[in-house]
Amino acid sequence: MGFTEIFVSTHDEALKRAAALGSGGGAGQGAVRIPDISDFEVERLGDLAGTAVHAAGADYELAMVDVASDSLLGVPPAMVRALAELLSYETEGEGEVLEDVAGSWAAEEDMPFGAEQAVRIVRQVAELAAGVDPTTKSGLYVWTS
């Protein structure tokens, strides 16, 4: 299996990044590259984040953004919000929500890493999500090899 890269970009820049990744380009600056997972695992992370911040049932399905690349997917706004909320969401006496989500994600079937690495990855992805600025027409994108 290849890797998945998650990054913040405008639509046009995302298409350029997808083309570079498709040609074997290295990790993009500010991107989170996760080996051995697919877009399905990213969707599962969205589901877990949504449940954790009490936004279960929203649209957390990644969607193709352009016919120019079937490997490039857009993260829906509800999932971006849920991921960003992991950085500040608090529950009384239950510990850090982000760590709980990361632990649950790492425990999913066939995940290639443990809870400690998952916490690092989820924090990075949440920070990317928090950096999405709709006024600049940026979005969160997922590219999977």
Nearest C-alpha neighbor of 105 from the set 6, 37, 32: 37
Residue 98 CA to residue 89 CA, distance in Å, equals: 8
Tokens 């299996």 found at: 1
With 80 as the cut, is the pLDDT of residue 14 above it? yes
User: Which residues, other chains included, contact 85 with Cβ-Cβ below 8 Å and sequence gap of 6+?
Assistant: 49, 53, 55
pLDDT score for 93? 58
> Which pair of tokens denotes residue 71?
């490997």
pLDDT in tens, 78-133: 999 999 999 988 665 566 899 999 999 999 998 999 999 999 999 999 999 999 99
pLDDT score for 134? 81
Count of alpha carbons within 13 angstroms of residue 120, beta-carbon side: 7
User: Which residues, other chains included, contact 112 with Cβ-Cβ below 8 Å and sequence gap of 6+?
Assistant: 35, 36, 37
| Beta strand pairing call for 72-74 and 138-144 | antiparallel
pLDDT score for 7? 96
pLDDT score for 98? 94
pLDDT score for 127? 96
pLDDT in tens, 21-58: 989 888 778 899 999 999 999 999 999 999 999 888 88
User: Which residues, other chains included, contact 26 with Cβ-Cβ below 8 Å and sequence gap of 6+?
Assistant: none
Q: Which residues of 37-76 are buried (b: 16+ CB within 10 A; e: fewer)?
A: bbbebbbbbbbbbbebbebeeeebebeebeeebebbbbbb
